[in-house]
């Protein structure tokens, strides 16, 4: 067995280098019997003091180690970059590809035979899986799990979703500073990711649907004892995966990605999943496009009655209603059941016996939350390469709407002027933000839920059509058209819009149209000049030179392409 292990090239090849590696392992305090001939498992941990979503992962790493030891493996914990959605600016999306590079190169350059990946906050799931996919070792993902539900004055709160809601109530003058202070203390009560069906829950559910977690892992509450047991089980399982040489490439197939898209749509998940799944699929050599999302959205019913697309339930309710296995059991006819997962030889085997325990949380097919999936893909002269809208979380009256544009060139200008009465904004206007895409943002920040002017909030308006080349939080809601591609920074049509131009959104027809004749648009295009580059050096310059557009997943071109990478010479 030991000669078949990748790590044996470091420890058992003979010569001075192997002697040095063994000597340095003794320096770490390990006996030969503890590691020689055993599968070496890298535990990649995104814990940090500044990431509340992951503040419990230092303890979970110990549970993973426990499982690895029990299975006869040798665990080594590696700290990797933490991408805190709450604190990192301008956006952790700027650094998703950096963590993916760190993951890939760490797994490639050290004496490890497989990996357990600890993450959960929005960008860490795709980043860790993108890097591990490119390295293509046996790997298993341990999701951080959702935090406890929030509470305030008898109300159950959903992080993110209720933050946006009550901040608008405050801006409208309906909620005072004292109440807002109470909300600060009640909104997020424990370690873990957002407990709504935001980006974190969506992406960890997608990871489970892809087959790279233990069954049911994605919805276990972060502080539940079941979460520690799942972490230990993942440690046990990775050793078995290494011994069976079941690499990620055997799990992350085209069928797996189609099932992940189906899952996201049926959950009413975050629009961010569109970008991340396209990027993740690219690393696996699988072609996944916006058209695939649009095709599947028309046949997948929305069954998860979870905020913000459904309601009133949260992720803990979803978990105890049956979690993702229960949910998937209701759409088996839409899934590829004979593909392998990290836990079973087939998804069919993994879902055997899965049940739903609450038909209002996970709806039956005869009583869906909505008849089609929660994301629509739009095309038109304003977004020739596509845009997306979470139409299930918008006011129905806005799904077919024509109105004059009010254009903001950047987010700072929007923040400074949105409440200016001289702009004359009405609820029929279409708010347009540009300069917020992958290059222009930079990093495509979550600016897409543009704030509604205070004078409209005070009149009771809570939704308007809003268009941008930005993203928005998966916990957000509203008639927000996002990911407009190409972005304005590279000369996409969004750069040509002027205040007063009529724009038509038609979600049933899947179109987004700038109602200006082609000759006028061509004249504006000739007059347009590219904005200056934001970065003169450093990682930002690397990012700007290589980032792809939203419809291609915002990966780096040199990482997304297929190609041979040699194994390091360890001798």
Per the structure block, which two tokens stand in for 63?
Answer: 């549970």
Q: Are residues 384 and 433 in the same domain?
A: yes
Whether 546 maps to a domain, the answer reads no
Task: State the pLDDT at residue 1.
Answer: 40
Whether 361 maps to a domain, the answer reads no
State which of 163, 187, 211 marks the end of a domain.
Answer: 187
For 54-81, the pLDDT digits (tens) are 999 999 999 999 999 999 999 999 999 9
**For tokens 């190609």, what's the residue?**
563
Task: State the pLDDT at residue 5.
Answer: 97
For 423-440, the pLDDT digits (tens) are 999 999 999 999 999 999
Q: Are residues 45 and 121 in the same domain?
A: yes
3-state secondary structure of 116: strand
CATH number of the structural domain spanning residue 109:
3.40.50.2300
Task: State the pLDDT at residue 571.
Answer: 85
Classify residue 371 by its DSSP letter. Answer: S
Q: Are residues 166 and 259 in the same domain?
A: no
Q: Are residues 52 and 200 in the same domain?
A: yes
Whether 319 maps to a domain, the answer reads yes
- pLDDT of 491 over the 80 cut: yes
> CB of 53 within 8 A of CB of 120?
yes
Given pLDDT bands bounded at 50, 70 and 90, which one contains residue 310?
confident
Given pLDDT bands bounded at 50, 70 and 90, which one contains residue 49?
very high
> CB of 200 within 8 A of CB of 193?
yes
State which of 133, 167, 187 marks the end of a domain.
Answer: 187
Q: Are residues 390 and 475 in the same domain?
A: yes
Given pLDDT bands bounded at 50, 70 and 90, which one contains residue 204?
very high
Q: Are residues 283 and 157 in the same domain?
A: no
pLDDT, the chain, mean: 96
Whether 386 maps to a domain, the answer reads yes
- pLDDT of 315 over the 90 cut: yes
Q: Are residues 230 and 342 in the same domain?
A: yes
What average pLDDT does this structure show over 296-322? 95
Given pLDDT bands bounded at 50, 70 and 90, which one contains residue 442?
very high
Q: Are residues 108 and 233 in the same domain?
A: yes
Q: Are residues 111 and 170 in the same domain?
A: no
* Dist CA 391 CA 481 (whole Å): 9
Q: Are residues 166 and 208 in the same domain?
A: no
Phi, psi of 526 (to 5 degrees): -65, -30
- pLDDT of 516 over the 60 cut: yes
Closest Cα to residue 132, out of 5, 241, 288, 20? 241
Whether 49 maps to a domain, the answer reads yes
- Element containing residue 113 per DSSP (H, E): none
- pLDDT of 367 over the 50 cut: yes
Give the torsion sign (CA, 465, 470, 103, 52): negative
Domain encompassing residue 420: 376-527
Per the structure block, which two tokens stand in for 420?
Answer: 């200016």
Phi, psi of 272 (to 5 degrees): -60, -25
Whether 380 maps to a domain, the answer reads yes
Task: State the pLDDT at residue 475.
Answer: 86
* Dist CA 569 CA 111 (whole Å): 11
Q: How many domains does the chain have?
A: 4
* Dist CA 154 CA 150 (whole Å): 10
Task: State the pLDDT at residue 160.
Answer: 85
> CB of 193 within 8 A of CB of 144?
yes
Return the number of other C-beta atoms located less than 10 Å from residue 541's C-beta: 13
Given pLDDT bands bounded at 50, 70 and 90, which one contains residue 2?
very low
pTM to 2 decimal places: 0.97
The H-assigned helical ranges of 285-399 are 290-297, 315-320, 323-329, 347-351
What average pLDDT does this structure show over 518-524? 97
Q: Are residues 323 and 432 in the same domain?
A: no
Q: Are residues 322 and 178 in the same domain?
A: no
Whether 533 maps to a domain, the answer reads no
CATH number of the structural domain spanning residue 490:
3.50.30.80
Q: How many CA atoms lie within 13 A of 531 on its CB side?
A: 21
3-state helix, strand, coil in the chain (%, to 5): 40, 15, 45
Whether 492 maps to a domain, the answer reads yes
């Amino acid at each position: 067995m030991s000669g078949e292990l990748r790590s044996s090239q470091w420890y058992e090849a003979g010569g001075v280098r192997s002697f040095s590696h063994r000597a340095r392992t003794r320096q770490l305090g390990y006996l030969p019997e503890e590691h020689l001939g055993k599968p070496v498992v890298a535990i990649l941990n995104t814990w940090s003091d500044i990431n509340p979503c992951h503040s419990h992962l230092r303890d979970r790493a110990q549970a993973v180690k426990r499982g690895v030891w029990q299975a006869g493996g040798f665990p080594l914990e590696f700290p990797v970059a933490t991408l805190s959605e709450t604190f990192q600016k301008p956006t952790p999306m700027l650094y998703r590809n950096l963590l993916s590079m760190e993951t890939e190169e760490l797994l490639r350059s050290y004496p490890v035979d497989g990996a357990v990946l600890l993450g959960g906050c929005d960008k860490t799931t795709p980043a860790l899986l993108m890097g591990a996919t490119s390295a293509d070792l046996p790997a298993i993902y341990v999701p951080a799990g959702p935090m406890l539900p929030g509470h305030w004055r008898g109300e159950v709160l959903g992080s993110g979703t209720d933050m946006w809601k009550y901040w608008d109530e405050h801006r409208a003058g309906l909620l005072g500073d004292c109440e807002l202070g109470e909300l600060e203390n009640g909104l997020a009560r424990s370690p873990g990711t957002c407990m709504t069906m935001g980006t974190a829950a969506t992406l960890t559910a997608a990871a489970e649907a892809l087959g790279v977690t233990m069954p049911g892992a994605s919805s276990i509450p972060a502080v539940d004892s079941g979460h520690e047991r799942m972490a230990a089980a993942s440690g046990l399982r990775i050793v078995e995966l290494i011994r069976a040489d079941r690499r990620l490439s055997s799990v992350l197939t085209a069928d797996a990605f189609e099932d992940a898209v189906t899952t996201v749509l049926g959950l009413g998940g975050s629009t961010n999943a569109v970008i991340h799944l396209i990027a993740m699929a690219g690393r696996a050599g699988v072609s996944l496009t916006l058209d695939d999302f649009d095709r599947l959205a028309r046949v997948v019913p929305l069954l998860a009655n979870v905020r913000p697309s459904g309601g009133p339930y949260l992720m803990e309710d979803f978990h105890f209603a049956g979690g993702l296995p229960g949910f998937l059991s209701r759409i088996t006819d839409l899934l590829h059941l004979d593909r392998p997962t990290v836990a079973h030889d087939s998804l069919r085997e993994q879902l055997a016996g899965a049940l739903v325990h609450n038909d209002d949380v996970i709806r039956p097919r005869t009583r869906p939350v909505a008849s089609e999936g929660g994301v629509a893909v739009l095309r038109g002269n304003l977004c020739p390469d596509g845009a997306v809208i979470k139409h299930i979380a918008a006011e129905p009256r806005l799904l077919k709407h024509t109105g004059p544009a009010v254009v903001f060139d950047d987010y700072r200008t929007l923040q400074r002027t949105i409440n200016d009465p001289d702009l004359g904004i009405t609820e029929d206007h279409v708010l347009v933000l540009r300069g917020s895409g992958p290059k222009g943002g930079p990093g495509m920040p979550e600016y897409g839920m543009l704030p509604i002017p205070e004078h409209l909030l005070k009149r009771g308006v809570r939704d308007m059509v809003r268009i941008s080349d930005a993203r928005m939080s998966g916990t957000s809601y509203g008639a927000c058209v996002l990911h407009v591609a190409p972005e304005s920074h590279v000369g996409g049509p969004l750069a040509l819009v002027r205040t007063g131009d009529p724009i038509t959104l038609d979600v049933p027809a899947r179109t987004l149209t700038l109602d200006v004749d082609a000759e006028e648009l061509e004249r504006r295009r000739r007059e347009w000049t590219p904005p200056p580059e934001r970065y003169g050096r450093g990682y930002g310059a690397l990012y700007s030179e290589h980032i792809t557009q939203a419809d291609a997943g915002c990966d780096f071109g040199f990482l997304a392409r297929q190609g041979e990478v040699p194994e390091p010479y360890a001798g």
